[in-house]
Structure 1
Amino acid sequence: MVAGKARQIIIDDTDPDIQYKGRWCWGSADTCPFKHYSPSYNNTLHQINNHGSISYTFNGTSISVIGAIADTDMSMGGNPSSKALKCSIDRTPIPIKTRNNNWVLCEQHGISDGKHKLRVHFNSTGAFDSILYTPSPGLSFETANVLVYNSDPGINFSLNWTYPNMSMSRLTRVSNSTATLNFTGTAVSWFGSNRGSVMQDANALYTIDGGPPTSFKLHYHHTNFSHELFTTPNFQPGSHTLVVTFEGNGSTVPLSLDYLVVANTSTPSTEPAMQKPPTVPEKHRPPVGAIVGGVVGGLFFVTAFVLFVFWWHRRRERSRESREITENGPPPSYTARAPVVSSYPAHPFSHSDPHRLSSASSFGRPSLALSGYTPDTVAQTRALRKCQEVGLHPVRPPSLPYPEDKENIGGDDVVRTKSPTQSQAEIGGG
């Protein structure tokens, strides 16, 4: 490839950011057969038999589309006709290039720095392999697959590496020639083009970070351009050193380099410092702990409030009951009580003692029980105390005689029992 090209990001046809329209066949170069001169990148390919398109948004200053097209215009040297393929950047057409797979279909350099949209329209049978673009200054290569061309200043070649006959491949035919690359990533792949006259296979080896060497074979390829010579196993992300050593000679297949692909790389040491591309802000999820704590706290306060209301209501009821007892006294007892009978005759209304009534009234309610009155006659008893005339019949035990008077006849006391009529007459007249 052209010397002096800056590192580029390679986007495979399987990238989810590529938008497809039309009926595409997706798979490997075997499941989607198409005439091509080189194997597809990552052995994946999208093929269309008629109308279809792709689109991709990027931030960069140049872009290239890799693939193949069947409908060619021989007047243009076998390149795709303008009817078969159309490419544009932000709806502005860009030049069409070639028809061979793993070669550039269309490309544009010198794009103004910023965000752009690539569109490619296929109007005949064609295949799409990958996209290469130069990222905007300040953007990072982190998480991307990056093409490092053989002209990159980050590659340290020993003597005897040349570009024969203006070839885009850099190669060596001298034994023990080396190439060293310091990079940051998780894996690296080496691509070369071993074409020309038939030669004997050669051996080569590579090491990572001074570890044990790994051997690989160099074979002659009649037609293939830029095929993969080896890919390292994945290793921990970070800075690593790759050293490749040629063990052949002038009679064997040479060791050639078109470019390397560094996987999952960050900012290379030979490029200006770059930052991560803008990403969609991450949505903040509500803190689960705060939500659970709020719910539990809310339930606690609701429960405490309900208990307080219940306690306050009970206390209020008890206070009201205590106040009613204080104001009205204890509730009356309805237990029947037997009349109290004195062991000696009572004479509250004796004619010989007209003041008995007034003196008896000074004892209060106990005198009512002794005289045979029940609680139902309280009103009448009060009237008697005021010396009011009422028709009241005292309740007496049936065994007690009515009051009797004594008369002194001839020096002896004679007891004379009064009839009920006489007793009532005395009460009325007294």
Structure 2
Amino acid sequence: MTPSIVLDSSDQSVSYVGPQWQASSDNSTFAGTYNICLLGTNTSDLIPTMLFSFEGTGVSFYGQPSDNLQLNYTFDSSTTLVANLSYAHGIPGKTGVRIWGFDNVTAGVHTVSLIPTTGQPIFDYFVITPCASSNLTGRTIALDDTDPGIKYNGQWTEQSGTVYSSGMSYNGTIHGSTTPGDSFTVSFTGDSISVYGLLGQQAGSHSSTYSIDGGPPTFYNYSFNATDANISTLNQKFFSADVSPGQHNLTVIVTEVSGSQTRRLRTELRDLRRDHEIVRAQQARLARRMVPPPPPPPPPVARPSRGDNAGLVEAPPPPYIP
């Protein structure tokens, strides 16, 4: 599997210039926080700018766009350019939307600045495509529910491209089940794991168990008394656990689905929803899997001189900028 690094917009490695930027919270956002640029609400001479560096081959910026949003940007040492925004203009006011980003850039460390010129953009999280030299230690790695490393058993169904009341799910996909006994397993390398998904506000309940390496299960139960088929809450944490650094297996089993939660599936809105896992990588094994085998060593030199030795010194890797 190819990992993706996820960075919250409020991470300390992201810099915001200008008093137009404000941080706030919402339980439907990726980590419960977001950053908004309130253009026209401050007379400061500072140009509102977001500065961000990453190591990899691509980055995407997710959040909540506005109808008239326009952005300028710089990439590394480029001049100021106009961003070609990629989101669908029919979904303003929804979070989890890919607003803009870079794909297939040269592997390495890059610096991006975003300068909103109209609208009031909300940034929620960034998704980075790492390269072979990317350091994954201590990073938050996201596995989408469609990742081939996740093994589903039972009658799970997949939904994609749906815009919910609060926004879009991670990568636009969700797996769901209403059948007790259905399960999935996933292997991961790290020191913690969390499972997030979507909850609907309909009468009924559903529950599931979470077990790491065959250990005692942790129970999760969700119930709701009111009925509103039009309201769903994204980025809800179903399970989280710290583990010893290393490789582990997580098993999730659906144990109950009842009430109107069951009927909701018949309207193509699934009840037990699993959107993505967040794995904090303690070791960089995933990165090493991306590195090709090293070339064979050079033939020995009979009488190496200082110049020959100098030619065999390997250059250090580029610096890592979180």
Paired position in structure 1 for 2:4? 8
The correspondence for 1:263, drawn from 280, 288, 299, is 280
CA shift in 2, pair 1:14/1:62, >3 Å: same
For 1:42 and 1:186, how far apart are their aligned partners in 2? Answer: 19
**Contact persistence 1:187–1:263 (CA under 8 A):** yes
Paired position in structure 2 for 1:105? 99
For 1:131 and 1:277, how far apart are their aligned partners in 2? Answer: 24
Report % sequence identity. Answer: 20
Question: 1:8-67 CA distances to partner (integer Å, 9 max, x unpaired)?
Answer: 1011223222121111223423xxxxxxxx722222222221262211111212211122
Q: Flag structure 2 segments of 5+ consecutive residues without an equivalent.
A: 40-46, 163-172, 263-270, 293-315
**Contact persistence 2:210–2:239 (CA under 8 A):** no
The correspondence for 2:197, drawn from 185, 192, 196, is 192
Match of 1:247, SS state, is strand
Task: Establish whether residue 236 from structure 1 lines up as the match of residue 244 from structure 2.
Answer: yes
Paired position in structure 1 for 2:207? 203
CA shift in 2, pair 1:109/1:146, >3 Å: same
Paired position in structure 2 for 1:48? 37
Q: CA deviation at 1:211?
A: 1.5
Match of 1:212, SS state, is coil
**Contact persistence 1:156–1:179 (CA under 8 A):** yes
* Greater shift in the superposed pair: 208-217 or 159-168: 159-168
Letter in 1 for 2:181: N
**Contact persistence 2:192–2:279 (CA under 8 A):** yes
Paired position in structure 1 for 2:216? 212
Match of 1:66, SS state, is strand
For 1:242 and 1:108, how far apart are their aligned partners in 2? Answer: 33
Question: 1:334-377 CA distances to partner (integer Å, 9 max, x unpaired)?
Answer: xxxxxxxxxxxxxxxxxxxxxxxxxxxxxxxxxxxxxxxxxxxx
CA shift in 2, pair 1:152/1:164, >3 Å: closer
Residue pairs, 1:171-320, within 5 angstroms: 171-195=176-200, 198=202, 200-218=204-222, 222-224=230-232, 226-249=234-257, 252=261, 254-267=271-284, 272-273=289-290, 278-279=318-319
Q: CA deviation at 1:274?
A: 5.1
For 2:11 and 2:317, how far apart are their aligned partners in 1? Answer: 17
Q: CA deviation at 1:6?
A: 3.9
* Greater shift in the superposed pair: 239-248 or 93-102: 93-102
Match of 2:31, SS state, is helix
Paired position in structure 1 for 2:64? 68
Paired position in structure 2 for 1:415? none
Residue pairs, 1:77-226, within 5 angstroms: 80=69, 82=70, 85-87=71-73, 89-90=75-76, 91=78, 93-96=82-85, 97=87, 99=92, 100-123=94-117, 124-164=119-159, 168-195=173-200, 198=202, 200-218=204-222, 222-224=230-232, 226=234
CA shift in 2, pair 1:198/1:127, >3 Å: same
Name the one with the larger strand percent. Answer: 2
**Contact persistence 1:146–1:265 (CA under 8 A):** no
For 1:18 and 1:176, how far apart are their aligned partners in 2? Answer: 43
**Contact persistence 1:94–1:108 (CA under 8 A):** no
Paired position in structure 2 for 1:414? none
Aligned length: 257
Q: CA deviation at 1:165?
A: 6.9
Q: CA deviation at 1:264?
A: 3.4
For 2:317 and 2:197, how far apart are their aligned partners in 1? Answer: 31
**Contact persistence 1:66–1:105 (CA under 8 A):** yes
**Contact persistence 1:87–1:95 (CA under 8 A):** no
**Contact persistence 2:134–2:287 (CA under 8 A):** no
CA shift in 2, pair 1:279/1:111, >3 Å: closer
For 1:246 and 1:40, how far apart are their aligned partners in 2? Answer: 25
Q: CA deviation at 1:194?
A: 4.1
For 1:150 and 1:42, how far apart are their aligned partners in 2? Answer: 18
**Contact persistence 2:63–2:124 (CA under 8 A):** yes
For 2:291 and 2:138, how far apart are their aligned partners in 1? Answer: 13
For 2:257 and 2:25, how far apart are their aligned partners in 1? Answer: 35
Paired position in structure 2 for 1:347? none
The correspondence for 2:28, drawn from 18, 36, 39, is 39
For 1:233 and 1:246, how far apart are their aligned partners in 2? Answer: 18
For 2:136 and 2:8, how far apart are their aligned partners in 1? Answer: 15
Tell which has more relative contact order, 1 or 2 (C-alpha 8 A, sep 6+).
2
For 1:121 and 1:18, how far apart are their aligned partners in 2? Answer: 14
Q: CA deviation at 1:144?
A: 0.1
**Contact persistence 1:53–1:120 (CA under 8 A):** yes
Match of 2:154, SS state, is coil
Letter in 1 for 2:112: L
For 1:159 and 1:47, how far apart are their aligned partners in 2? Answer: 42
Match of 1:16, SS state, is coil
Q: CA deviation at 1:146?
A: 0.7
CA root-mean-square deviation: 3.1
Match of 2:215, SS state, is coil
The correspondence for 1:58, drawn from 54, 57, 65, is 54
**Contact persistence 1:202–1:218 (CA under 8 A):** yes
Residue pairs, 1:294-373, within 5 angstroms: none
Q: CA deviation at 1:225?
A: 5.6
CA shift in 2, pair 1:257/1:87, >3 Å: farther
